[in-house]
Amino acid sequence: MMQGAIEEPKSFEECQKEFLQFNCKQPGQNRDMVLTKMEGVKACRTVILCQLSLIMSTDAVTYFETVQELIKEIAELNSYLDQYAFYLAYGYYGFE
């Protein structure tokens, strides 16, 4: 990969898969790796928020199911961020 190249944000499914593979019970995992996962989740959430914003500015009624799905994805990504942050605050050191 070229240095300074911009990576495309991960999809919701990729973030979900990474989170489900993450072992929150294992202390001492690579802190930078956890922070990178959090950045990936934030980037994915930003993309979804932009999609949601575009839909809401056009015709949210027509795309009601899509809006509902995007909101559920945002909520799930927020939950991942919370759990990664909790891990960094407590789980990293073996506290539960």
Q: What's the pTM value of the predicted model, to 2 decimals?
A: 0.82
Confidence of residue 60 (pLDDT cuts 50, 70, 90): low
* Residue 69: Cβ-neighbour burial (10 angstroms; 0-12, 13-18, 19+): middle
| pLDDT score of 96 | 54
| pLDDT score of 1 | 41
Condensed to tens digits (0 to 9), the pLDDT of residues 3-29 reads 555 578 889 999 999 999 998 888 888
Q: Is the pLDDT of residue 48 over 80?
A: yes
Token digits for 67? 């809006």
Contact 73, 48 (CB under 8 A): yes
Contact 15, 77 (CB under 8 A): yes
The residue type of 91 is G
Q: Is the pLDDT of residue 84 over 50?
A: yes
